[in-house]
Amino acid sequence: MLNFIIICISLIIGYIFRFLYVKINIKSAEKRSDKIIKEAKILAMKKLKEVDYEIINKKKTIQNIENRLIQREENLDKKNDLIDKRDRNLIVKEKDFFVKEQFIVIETSNIKKIKEEQIKLLEKISKMTQEEAKKAMSDEMEREVKKDIAILSQRLEQEIRETAEKKSKEILSISIQKIAADHTIEITTSTIQIPNDEIKGRIIGREGRNIKTFEQVTGVDLIIDDTPESITLSSFDGIRRQIAKIALERLIIDGRIHPARIEEVVEKVKKEMDQHLKEVGEQAAIDVGIPGLNFEILKLLGKLKYRTSYGQNQLQHTLEVAWIAGAIAGELGLNITFCKKAGLLHDIGKAINHEVEGTHHQISANIAKKYGESPKMINAILSHHEGIEIPASKEAFIVAAADAISAARPGARRESIEHYIKRLERLENLAKSFNGVLMAYAIQAGREIRILVEPSSINDEESKILAHNIAKKIEFELEYPGQIKVVVIRETRAQDISK
């Protein structure tokens, strides 16, 4: 029972505490709600002010937009007024243009009639039809064009010469200055000095046995005449002549001159000559700076020492070509070694051209091909003579130029009087073959030709064209060393006689 009473009292006390707790919480909640309401009112007022400010700004923006639209409408109205005004002006101008067009049509018709009348009148006055007048005008224009072309070509040629000639002279002068060659010419004979004339009888031998044996084994003619203390050896083959000269000198020094001894000495000299030719070829290759050549090529180079062409020693010519070609290649930035080697091999066929059929450049190319030279090298060898084959490389042009320079330099070649006169006659006759040429004179050993023309048939401009045409024809039809200057002279003279 006591427990029940305690429980009841506890429940009552708990209810009282709960009631008090709830009442206290209600008052606290009311305070918080009042506070929240006040804060909400403050925030609402603040937001309301912001909205009012934004509405004011938007009203201003809308007002500005309305003002701009009104301004645009006013501008559009003004533009429309201007367009209407332009349209009205265009309509007026179109009417004026139509009137003027009609007037022009009428005037054109009148001008055409007047032009036709003038043409008929001009034809009557000039006694020429319209077509004839056109042809005369065309011919006159053609002459004027030719005159302008001649003047223009002369000016361009002068400009090219001022630049190209200066550079080419510079390159060639540098190239030629790098060689200093000694020139020795032995054509067909060699002379041997003897101690006394008694040796002549011993060389002839009993019944001429010694001289016959000597000429048979050497292939050289031995000339023994009344010239004191000298004997002459004659042969077109320079190597045979050199072998005979050395052998005869040794026989004279030895004193034993009979057929068996002659055969022995000549055979020994021939073997020594083979070694000598190889050494000469090696020295030539070393001088040029092309080592490592084939033994047979070196031997052929050595043979060129005893070959001549137009009086020019072939080995010296070959070395000159190699040096000049190398120097030009160096100035132009091309393959120096290739140009030197091509210059060394370009005339090697002349060492055997009497033994093998064919031209010397073809034989030279065949030799180069036989010993494994490149197609470029073979082309350079073949093309060093103009017209044989077209040069396929810049180096080939250089080799051809170097060959021409070496052959054309003063004193390089000797020319017979007959050949010299014929060359000058061909040059003069070629110039005389052109219309309007009165006389032609070759001067300065054929390096210049002066041409007198008829002044009535050739004017000043045409004389320049004539000089150019003659120069080109000389290039195509004649062979000549160096260059030929063509001078055309047009002269008008007036004379009278006082009585």
156 and 205 housed in the same domain: no
351, 373, 408: which is the final residue of a domain? 408
Q: What pLDDT, on the 0 to 100 scale, is given for residue 51?
A: 82
Q: Number of structural domains, the chain?
A: 3
Which backbone phi and psi does 495 adopt, to 5 degrees?
-145, 160
Q: Answer whether residue 43 shows pLDDT above 80.
A: yes
Q: What is the pLDDT of residues 245-286, one digit of tens each?
A: 888 888 888 878 888 888 888 888 888 888 888 888 888 888
Q: 41: how many CB neighbours lie within 10 A of its CB? A: 10
Calculate Rg over the CA atoms of the chain: 56
136 and 161 housed in the same domain: yes
Query: Tell me, what CATH number does 473's domain have?
Result: 3.30.300.30
Q: Is residue 11 part of a domain?
A: no
213 and 275 housed in the same domain: yes
Q: What pLDDT, on the 0 to 100 scale, is given for residue 279?
A: 85
Burial of 163 (0-12, 13-18, 19+ CB in 10 A): exposed
Q: What is the mean pLDDT of residues 160-185?
A: 52
Whose CA is closest to 405, among 352, 468, 346, 467? 346
165 and 300 housed in the same domain: no
Query: Tell me, what CATH number does 327's domain have?
Result: 3.30.1370.10
173 and 301 housed in the same domain: no
Q: What is the pLDDT of residues 350-403, one digit of tens each?
A: 877 555 666 777 787 788 788 888 888 888 888 776 546 677 788 888 888 888
**Residue-number span of the structural domain to which 319 is assigned:** 189-408
295 and 172 housed in the same domain: no
Q: Using pLDDT thresholds of 50, 70 and 90, give the confidence band for residue 319.
A: confident
Q: Answer whether residue 435 shows pLDDT above 60.
A: yes
pTM of structure: 0.47
Q: Using pLDDT thresholds of 50, 70 and 90, give the confidence band for residue 189.
A: confident
Please state, in angstroms and rounded to a whole number, the distance separating the CA atoms of residues 434 and 448: 17
248 and 389 housed in the same domain: yes
408, 435, 453: which is the final residue of a domain? 408
Task: Please calculate the CA angle 155-160-162 and round it to the nearest 5 degrees.
Answer: 95
Structural tokens at position 401 = 């130029």
For 116, half-sphere exposure in the C-beta direction (CA atoms, 13 angstrom radius) is 5
Q: Using pLDDT thresholds of 50, 70 and 90, give the confidence band for residue 166.
A: low
Q: Using pLDDT thresholds of 50, 70 and 90, give the confidence band for residue 182.
A: very low
149 and 231 housed in the same domain: no
Whose CA is closest to 439, among 478, 399, 491? 491
Strand pairing class (221-223; 230-234): antiparallel
Q: Using pLDDT thresholds of 50, 70 and 90, give the confidence band for residue 58.
A: confident
Q: What is the mean pLDDT of residues 185-197?
A: 69
Q: Is residue 55 part of a domain?
A: no
375 and 477 housed in the same domain: no
Please state, in angstroms and rounded to a whole number, the distance separating the CA atoms of residues 321 and 120: 73
Q: What pLDDT, on the 0 to 100 scale, is given for residue 170?
A: 55
Q: Is residue 109 part of a domain?
A: no
Q: Using pLDDT thresholds of 50, 70 and 90, give the confidence band for residue 32.
A: confident
For 238, half-sphere exposure in the C-beta direction (CA atoms, 13 angstrom radius) is 21
Q: Is residue 90 part of a domain?
A: no
344 touches 355 (CB < 8 A): no
Q: What is the pLDDT of residues 100-128, one digit of tens each?
A: 777 777 777 777 777 777 777 766 676 66
Q: Using pLDDT thresholds of 50, 70 and 90, give the confidence band for residue 209.
A: confident
300 touches 284 (CB < 8 A): no
Strand pairing class (437-443; 448-453): antiparallel
162 and 300 housed in the same domain: no
Q: What is the pLDDT of residues 124-145, one digit of tens each?
A: 676 667 677 677 777 777 777 7
Q: What pLDDT, on the 0 to 100 scale, is given for residue 306?
A: 79
- Supply the angle between the helices 209-218 and 238-254 in degrees, to the nearest 10: 140
Please state, in angstroms and rounded to a whole number, the distance separating the CA atoms of residues 243 and 262: 12
Q: Answer whether residue 177 shows pLDDT above 50.
A: no
The answer for residues whose C-beta is within 8 angstroms of residue 20's C-beta and 6 or more apart is none
SS (H, E, C) the chain: CHHHHHHHHHHHHHHHHHHHHHHHHHHHHHHHHHHHHHHHHHHHHHHHHHHHHHHHHHHHHHHHHHHHHHHHHHHHHHHHHHHHHHHHHHHHHHHHHHHHHHHHHHHHHHHHHHHHHHHHHHHHHHCCCHHHHHHHHHHHHHHHHHHHHHHHHHHHHHHHHHHHHHHHHHHHHHHHHCCCCCCCCCCCEEEEECCCCHHHHHHHCHHHHHHHHHHHHHCCEEECCCCCCEEEEECCCHHHHHHHHHHHHHHHHHCCCCHHHHHHHHHHHHHHHHHHHHHHHHHHHHHHCCCCCCHHHHHHHHHHHHCEECCEEHHHHHHHHHHHHHHHHHHHCCCHHHHHHHHHHCCHHHHCCCCCCCCHHHHHHHHHHHCCCCHHHHHHHHCCCCCCCCCCCHHHHHHHHHHHHHHHCCCCCCCCHHHHHHHHHHHHHHHHCCCCEEEEEEECCCCEEEEEECCCCCCHHHHHHHHHHHHHHHHHHCCCCCCCEEEEEECCCCCCCCC
304 and 360 housed in the same domain: yes
Q: Is residue 72 part of a domain?
A: no
164 and 216 housed in the same domain: no
Q: Is residue 35 part of a domain?
A: no
Q: What is the pLDDT of residues 420-433, one digit of tens each?
A: 678 888 888 998 99
Q: Is residue 23 part of a domain?
A: no
Q: What is the mean pLDDT of residues 153-164?
A: 68
Q: Is residue 22 part of a domain?
A: no
Please state, in angstroms and rounded to a whole number, the distance separating the CA atoms of residues 194 and 255: 12
